[in-house]
A and B are shown apart, each in its own frame.
Chain A
Amino acid sequence: MKLLFAFLSTATICFTGEAASVSDSIKTIRSVGPEGQGNTAAAKAWKSLAQANAAALPEILRAMKDSSPLSANWLRAAVDTIADRGGKLPQQALLDFIADQKQEPRARRLAFELIQKSNPKLADKLIPGLINDPSVELRRDAVAHVLEAGTAKQTSKQTQAAVKDFRKALDAARDIDQIQAATTALRQLNQKVDLPRHFGFLMHWNVIGPFDNTERKGFATVFPPEKKIDLSATYEGKAGKVKWTEFITADEYGMVDINKAYPGPGDGLKEVTAFAYTEYTAASTGPAQLRLGCKNAWKIWHNGQLVFSRDEYHRGIRIDQYQLDINLTKGRNTFLVKLCQNEQQQSWTKQWQFQLRVCDATGTAVLAADRPPTPETGTDNSGNNPTPGRRPRN
């Protein structure tokens, strides 16, 4: 009995000692700051943490919640190192962690991959249940499964069942390639897809311009719309008076093509600046993301506050190129985009455009409470107006 007591005490001390070490190490690693601050202490802590046994993995994974992206990477490297060393994984604890949707999404994916490596069949069984998971990485596999199932049904002429699968895949998909795959499949089956709504692109705008951007100085110049939004105002532009006009895009990916509002000679105006403004009614207050694609220099304001700016021209555009955290205010929110075109004359420098959507951190659209119906192609300004894409405000 005495021997048993002594053994249990020792085991507890060892366990407690390790747990304390793990906890302390995590705390140090979570303290790393900008420009490498805390790296020296973190390196020492990491060395200790990486020596922990596999039982510590759930605790390390849990520590990724609300940690900075840099701290998460430190912790991730410890998880990889511990797992690579072998030892029995705490499978049930990892499964519980995966099931807990309040945990850090990427950490849950990492836990899933640990299971996948050690027990692939078990991981496969989990996948279908992850179709609406808040972790984009986890739901991706589930969406892929449904797309495959839909394709098989389409091939075997089970059209209605295939449509159901593709619709399910589209509703769940957050990665562009999967959204496009589901959309293509549905359209092949004569189904309608409202892509702007799926993404949450902002389609209805007011635009004003052109202002000057000679020698790219317009980016730093404060023009009147940056001081105050007055949609009835008239200002001095680059080549005369300018005023706000309504601009509606019907582009599937929400592209707001300023060249349509202000067509110039040849390939369009150069060394100019324009603004686009819209209002958005949020159902509730809370965090959201603005996701912007743009190959011109730009600035963006939310409720009058500058969110971010970037002075890069014509290096490429992609959906979700920039992901900007904001806090929506319940009720009316305003978005103002400043868009600068530079002096380059090459064919690939013609574009003067952007695409903007509002979503949550997973990329799920956060639609305005008063979102108008998505404009159908031909019903936006570009189809029936002598000035494509542009309609003067009454």
Chain B
Amino acid sequence: MKNSLIALTFALGLTVHSEDWNQFRGPHGNGVSTDKNLPTTLQDDNLKWSIALPGRGLSGALVLGDHVIVTCSSGPTQSRLHVLALNAKDGSVAWHRQFWATGRTMCHDKTSVAAPTSCSDGKNIYAVFSSNDVICLDRAGNLQWLRGLTADYANVSNSLGMSSSPVVTGDTLVVQVENDSESYTLGLNKTNGLNRWRLDRPKAANWTSPVLLKSGLVALQSKTGIDAIRTEDGSNAWSYEDGASTIPSSAVLNGVLYIPSHGITALKLNDADAANTPKQLWQSGRLQPGTASPIVIGNKVFTTNRAGVLSSGNTKTGERGWQLRLKGPFSATPVAAGDYLYFVNEAGLMQIVDTTAEEGEITGKLDLGEQVLGSPAVGSGALYVRSNSKLYKVAK
């Protein structure tokens, strides 16, 4: 497991610090952390600190060295955008930058303008908001560039809110702003924000995030399926055209892409950037993800349905194994470390699941007492969970 993760890290050409949680679902984009020091049980004293945030949000945090990066939106129409760096040790503010939304800020009451999780290449932070403001700051909070994609493309918006989290690979920042009207995915030059390419995408609301398949190749998910895009020029490498969910995103591990499509569909990726669709390994309608994205540990793929039932599946066959009823519902995608899965339900109840137990076992619970919709971040033995008003640090 460890070896394969290290190999994958090199294969992806990542330059971030090994412990950095640098994007939605972490350094590998699949929710899996190599951290060995996370708690496996939970008591009240595992809550190390919580600090008030200046606005709402369901974006996940980043952990970059000693800083935890969080985005928020505030004001009666959420038109004030915030990017904060907090000191991981005590939650104090290292720096705080604010911006005015340049695009529409309307969204469903449950979500917020600070919905997409930021990403980082280790040098800079790329923050994206539902208003389609894209802001690049260095790790000291110095502005490098910004874009207002709704200012450029007036009908790029979703009245329910946008939530796709960006990824950065090579020289390109990939921003998926797909919606019912003017629907695009953009490849932005990460050094100045200029368009490298802009793809017309299916005209349909889409809340999924791009998945980095290998350095320079991302999977864009939409209602039509998956398009693998070369980030250098936006060209298509291959497509899977059997449809896919527009809410939970795909996950990749050990060269297999697990797509929320007809339950879960597993594709064995080609080693090369070949212009042919990867081989389909299996498809299982018995593994149905709800809002949370699937996650893989070793030879098991896990999905959580809308009723809060965690299902395990065999990564080689798709055969469903044990199921465990958790206290849901869940919007936040769980994270994994070692053999454990870490969940936070919408009411703010953290639950840890030992996946090696015969039928799966809940080994710890901690009630944060607030609505949580964003996926946790992991760094240096700690989980960072954000609500609409606070950021929590949970550790041994």
Binding partners A and B: yes
| Residues of chain A lying within 8 A (CB to CB) of residue B179 | 312
Indicate if A87 sits at the interface (CB-CB under 8 A).
no
Q: What is the CA–CA distance of A37 and B192 in the complex, to the nearest angstrom? A: 9
Which residues of A lie under 8 Å from residue B151 when comparing CB positions? 34, 68-70
Say yes or no for B257: interface residue by CB 8 A criterion: no
Q: Is the CB of B192 within 8 A of A312?
A: no
**Are A34 and B100 touching (Cβ within 8 A)?**
no
- Residue contact A308 to B154, C-beta cutoff 8 Å: yes
| B344 contact set on A, CB distance < 8 A | none
Q: Is A191 an interface residue (CB 8 A)?
A: no
Beta-carbon contact of B181 and A77 below 8 Å: no
Distance (whole angstroms) from the CB of A294 to the closest CB of chain B:
9
When chains A and B are docked, how far (Å) is the Cα of A84 from the Cα of B135? 19
Cβ of B225: which chain A residues have Cβ within 8 Å of it? none
**Cα distance, A43 to B135, chains bound together (Å):** 12
Q: Is the CB of B158 within 8 A of A77?
A: no
Q: Which residues of A contact B102 (CB under 8 A)?
A: 69-70, 73
Say whether A315 contacts B158, CB under 8 Å: yes
Closest chain B residue, CB of each to CB of A84 = B95
A50-B142, A69-B151, A318-B106 are contacts. A40–B181 as well, Cβ < 8 Å?
no
A177-B76 contact, Cβ under 8 Å, with A70-B148, A76-B99? yes
Chain B residues contacting A320 (CB-CB under 8 Å) are 77
For residue B338, CB closer than 8 A to chain A, the reply is: no
Q: A35-B195, A312-B159 are in contact. Are A106 and B100 (CB under 8 A)?
A: yes
Contacts of B192 in A (CB 8 A): 36, 39-40, 43
Q: Which residues of B contact A80 (CB under 8 A)?
A: 96-98
Q: Give the distance in Å from the alpha carbon of A215 to the alpha carbon of B96 in the complex.
A: 48
Tell me whether A74 is interfacial, beta carbon within 8 Å: yes
Tell me how far the C-beta of A317 lies from the nearest C-beta in chain B, rounded to whole angstroms. 8
| Residues of B contacting A311 in the complex (Cβ-Cβ under 8 angstroms) | 155, 180-181, 203
Please state if B143 and A77 are interface contacts (CB–CB under 8 Å). Answer: yes
User: Does the CB pair B193–A315 fall under 8 Å?
Assistant: no
Q: A310, B181: Cβ atoms under 8 Å? A: yes
Q: Is A167 an interface residue (CB 8 A)?
A: no
With A73-B102, A312-B179, A321-B106 as given contacts, are A81 and B193 in contact (CB-CB < 8 Å)? no
Interface residues of B in 19-43 (CB under 8 A from A): none
Q: Is the CB of B142 within 8 A of A76?
A: no
Q: Is B49 engaged at the interface, CB distance under 8 Å to the other chain?
A: no
Which residue of A35, A74, A77, A137 is within 8 Å of B152 (Cβ)? A35
User: What is the bound-complex CA distance between A39 and B147, given in angstroms?
Assistant: 9
How far apart are the CA atoms of A178 and B99 in the complex, in Å? 23
Distance to closest chain A CB from B190 (angstroms): 12
Chain A residues within 8 Å of B107, by CB: 316
CB of A164 within 8 A of chain B? no
* A321-B159 contact in complex given A50-B142, A84-B95, C-beta closer than 8 Å: yes
B-contacting residues, A5-38, CB 8 Å:
34-37
B364 proximity list for chain A (CB < 8 A): none
Does B146 count as interface, using CB distance less than 8 angstroms? yes
Q: From residue B197, how far is it (CB to closest CB) to chain A in Å? A: 12
Min CB distance B383 to A, Å, is 29
Selected from B76, B104, B159, B180, the residue in CB contact (under 8 A) with A140 is B76
Of A50, A69, A295, the residue contacting B159 (CB under 8 A) is A295
CB under 8 Å from chain B, chain A span 267-299 = 295
B142 touches A69 (CB 8 A): no
* In the complex, per-residue mask of A162-178: 1 if CB is within 8 Å of any chain B CB, else 0: 00000000000001111
Given contacts A34-B151, A36-B192, A312 and B180 within 8 Å (CB-CB): yes
How many Å lie between the Cα of A68 and that of B102 in the bound state?
10
B153-189 CB contact bits vs A (8 Å, 1 = yes)?
Answer: 0110111100000000000000000011100000011
Find chain B residues with CB under 8 A from A318 CB. Answer: 106, 159
Answer yes or no: B360 CB below 8 A from chain A CBs. no
- In the assembled complex, the Cα of A35 lies from the Cα of B188 at a distance in Å of 10
Report the Cα distance A140→B75, complex, angstroms.
10
Chain B proximity mask over A76-89: 1 for CB below 8 Å, otherwise 0? 11101100100000
Nearest B residue to A140 via CB reads: B76
Contacts of A69 in B (CB 8 A): 100, 102, 148, 151
Write out, one digit per residue, whether chain A residues 40-51 have a CB within 8 A of any chain B CB (1) or not (0): 101100110010
A308 to chain B: closest residue by CB: B154
Closest Cβ–Cβ distance, residue B266 to chain A (whole Å): 32
The residues in A between 301 and 330 inclusive whose CB is less than 8 angstroms from any CB of B are 308, 310-313, 315-318, 320-322
Instruction: Count chain B CB atoms within 10 A of each CB in A72, A77, A175 and give the residue with the most.
Output: A77
Nearest CB in chain A to that of B205: its residue: A315
Contact A77/B106 with A39-B193, A69-B148, A312-B180 known, Cβ cut-off 8 Å: no
Known: A313-B180, A315-B205. A73 touches B159 (CB 8 A): no
Q: Which residue of chain B lies nearest to A79 when distances are taken between CB atoms in the complex?
A: B98
Verify B99–A81 contact, CB threshold 8 A: no
Q: Is A70 in contact with B181, judged by CB distance below 8 angstroms?
A: no
Selected from A34, A39, A50, A310, the residue in CB contact (under 8 A) with B145 is A39
**Chain A proximity mask over B184-222: 1 for CB below 8 Å, otherwise 0:** 000011001111000000010100000000000000000
Beyond the given pairs A34-B151, A81-B143, A84-B141, 9 more chain A to chain B contacts, judged by CB atoms under 8 angstroms and listed by A's residue number, are A34-B152, A36-B195, A43-B143, A46-B143, A80-B98, A312-B180, A316-B106, A320-B77, A321-B159
List A residues at the B interface (Cβ < 8 Å): 34-37, 39-40, 42-43, 46-47, 50, 68-70, 72-74, 76-78, 80-81, 84, 106, 137, 140, 175-178, 295, 308, 310-313, 315-318, 320-322
Can you list 17 A-B contacts with CB-CB less than 8 angstroms, sorted by A residue number?
A: A35-B147, A35-B152, A36-B145, A39-B193, A43-B192, A69-B148, A69-B151, A70-B146, A73-B99, A77-B143, A77-B146, A80-B97, A81-B143, A311-B155, A312-B157, A316-B159, A318-B159
